[in-house]
C-alpha cells in the first residue's frame, strides 16, 4: 500500500481536531507537524506530496490524538513561546499566557536598567516572568518562588537552557524570603471555584493549584498583599495579574493593606493588572 502524503495527513488531522472542538484546527495541526517533522510551516506547503513513513505517521497520530483529547497544545509540543524565550512546559506547570507577557512589558517600560533592583516573582511556574525580567535587566537580582517542586523543576531547567541566572526558591508565597524587594511581581492563581464549570476542557490538564484560589479566586492575592509590608522595600512597588472582573476587589484589598493601587487593562481592554505602591 502506498504511503500517505504530508497533505493527506494534514487534511485528516485538521478534520479530526475540528471534530474534537479545536477552533484553530488547521493551524494547530501545522504546528504539530512542523515541530514533529522538524520542518517550517512553509515546508509543509512546498513538500505537500512528500510520502510519510509509518513510524512518523504513528508519532503524528499519537500527538494529534492527545490534542483531540483537549490536552493543551503547549503540553503536546513540550514548549511555549513567551516573549523571546521558548519555555519547556508539561504536566505539572501552567502554560504561560500571552497576557502575562504584558505584565513583563509594563515592568520593563516603567523601570529602566539605570538602577539595579531586587525583584521577586511569586508563583513563578515555568519561570516565565522571572526569566524574562532577568534576561532584559541582567543587573537586577531576580528571585522566582513557587510552592510546587514540579513547577520549579521546569523553571530551573528553563533558566539553564536560556543561560539566565535567577535564584529559585520553594515555599508558600513569600514565606522564607526576607527581601526587602524593590519589585514584587505575581501571576498567582486567580480563578474562583465558582467559575470552574465555565472553564475550557484544557484547564483540567493543568495543575489545579496553579489556577484556582478559593471561592472568589482571591485567596492567594489576599494573603500576598497581607505579607507585602514584611518583604517590600519602603519605596517598593508591586504588579499583580488578576481576573478581568477582579480589578475593583484587588484595589480594595490593596487599599485596606495601606497601598495605593491602579488598575491596568490588557490589550483586549480588560482589567488585568494591579500596580501597587505604599501610601505615603
Ligand atoms: C497562574 S500560575 C502562574 C505561573 C507563572 N507565573 C506564569 O505566569 O506563567 C500560578 C503559580 O503559582 C503557584 N502557586 C500556587 N499556590 C502557591 C503558593 N501558596 N505559594 C507559591 N506559589 C504558589 C503555582 O504552583 C503556579 O506555578
Ligand 1 probe mutation, 91, 92, 123, most atoms within 8 A of CB: 123
| The pLDDT of residue 279 | 81
What is the rounded distance in angstroms from the CA atom of residue 278 to the CA atom of residue 257?
Answer: 9
Q: Is residue 192 over pLDDT 80?
A: yes
Residue 200 CA to ligand 1 center (angstroms) comes to 19
Q: Is residue 155 over pLDDT 80?
A: yes
Beta bridge partners of residue 169, listed in sequence order: 145
Average pLDDT of the segment spanning 17-32: 96
CB atoms within 10 A of CB 262: 12
Residue 278 CA to ligand 1 center (angstroms) comes to 24
Reduced 3-state DSSP string for 37-62 = HCCCHHHHHHCCCCECCHHHHHHHHH
All structural domains of the chain, each given as residue ranges with its CATH number in brackets, are: 6-69 (1.10.8), 82-278 (3.40.50.150)
Q: Is the CB of 187 under 6 A from ligand 1?
A: yes
| The pLDDT of residue 45 | 87
Percent of the chain with pLDDT over 90: 91
With CA atoms as reference, report the closest residue to 97 among 244, 262, 253.
244
Q: Is the CB of 72 under 6 A from ligand 1?
A: no
Average pLDDT of the segment spanning 101-113: 96
Q: Is the CB of 63 under 6 A from ligand 1?
A: no
Q: Which protein residue's CA is at the shortest distance from atom 6 of ligand 1?
A: 124
| The pLDDT of residue 149 | 97
Q: Which protein residue's CA is at the shortest distance from atom 12 of ligand 1?
A: 123
Q: Is the CB of 236 under 6 A from ligand 1?
A: no
Could you tell me the pLDDT band of residue 179, with boundaries at 50, 70 and 90?
confident
Got the DSSP string for 172-239? Answer: STTTT----EEEEEE----B-GGGGGGS-GGGGGS-GGGTB-STTS-HHHHHHHHHHHHHEEEEEEEE
Q: Is the CB of 94 under 6 A from ligand 1?
A: yes
Q: Is the CB of 129 under 6 A from ligand 1?
A: yes
Residue 217 CA to ligand 1 center (angstroms) comes to 13
Residue 78 CA to ligand 1 center (angstroms) comes to 19
Could you tell me the pLDDT band of residue 221, with boundaries at 50, 70 and 90?
very high
Average pLDDT of the segment spanning 156-176: 97
| The pLDDT of residue 197 | 87
| The pLDDT of residue 1 | 67
Q: Is the CB of 210 under 6 A from ligand 1?
A: yes
Q: pLDDT tens-digit profile of 255-277?
A: 999 999 999 999 999 999 999 99
Residue 90 CA to ligand 1 center (angstroms) comes to 15
What average pLDDT does the chain have? 96
| The pLDDT of residue 2 | 85
| The pLDDT of residue 95 | 98
With CA atoms as reference, report the closest residue to 103 among 81, 121, 126, 84.
121
Amino acid at each position: 500500500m502506498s504511503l500517505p502524503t504530508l497533505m493527506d495527513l494534514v487534511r485528516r488531522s485538521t478534520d479530526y481536531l475540528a471534530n474534537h472542538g479545536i477552533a484553530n484546527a488547521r493551524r494547530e495541526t501545522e504546528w504539530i507537524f512542523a515541530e514533529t517533522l522538524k520542518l517550517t510551516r512553509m515546508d509543509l506547503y512546498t513538500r505537500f506530496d512528500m510520502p510519510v513513513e509509518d513510524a512518523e505517521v504513528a508519532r503524528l497520530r499519537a500527538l494529534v490524538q492527545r490534542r483531540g483529547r483537549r490536552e493543551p497544545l503547549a503540553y503536546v509540543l513540550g514548549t511555549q513561546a513567551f516573549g523571546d524565550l521558548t519555555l519547556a512546559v508539561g504536566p505539572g506547570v501552567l502554560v504561560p499566557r500571552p497576557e502575562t507577557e504584558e505584565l513583563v512589558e509594563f515592568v520593563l517600560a516603567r523601570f529602566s536598567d539605570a538602577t539595579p533592583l531586587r525583584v521577586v516573582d511569586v508563583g513563578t511556574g515555568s519561570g516565565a516572568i522571572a526569566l524574562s525580567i532577568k534576561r532584559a535587566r541582567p543587573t537586577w537580582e531576580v528571585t522566582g518562588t513557587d510552592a510546587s517542586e514540579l513547577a520549579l523543576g521546569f523553571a530551573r531547567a528553563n533558566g539553564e537552557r536560556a543561560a539566565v541566572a535567577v535564584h529559585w526558591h520553594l515555599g508558600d508565597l513569600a514565606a522564607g524570603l526576607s527581601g526587602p524587594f524593590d519589585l514584587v511581581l505575581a501571576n498567582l492563581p486567580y480563578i474562583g471555584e465558582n467559575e470552574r464549570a465555565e472553564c475550557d476542557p484544557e484547564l483540567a490538564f493543568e495543575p489545579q493549584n496553579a489556577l484556582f484560589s478559593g471561592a472568589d479566586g482571591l485567596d492567594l492575592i489576599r494573603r500576598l498583599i497581607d505579607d507585602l509590608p514584611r518583604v517590600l522595600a519602603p519605596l517598593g512597588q508591586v504588579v499583580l495579574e488578576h481576573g478581568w472582573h477582579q480589578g475593583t476587589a484587588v484595589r480594595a484589598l490593596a487599599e485596606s493593606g495601606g497601598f495605593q493601587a491602579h488598575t491596568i487593562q490588557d490589550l483586549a481592554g480588560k482589567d488585568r493588572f494591579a500596580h501597587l505602591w505604599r501610601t505615603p
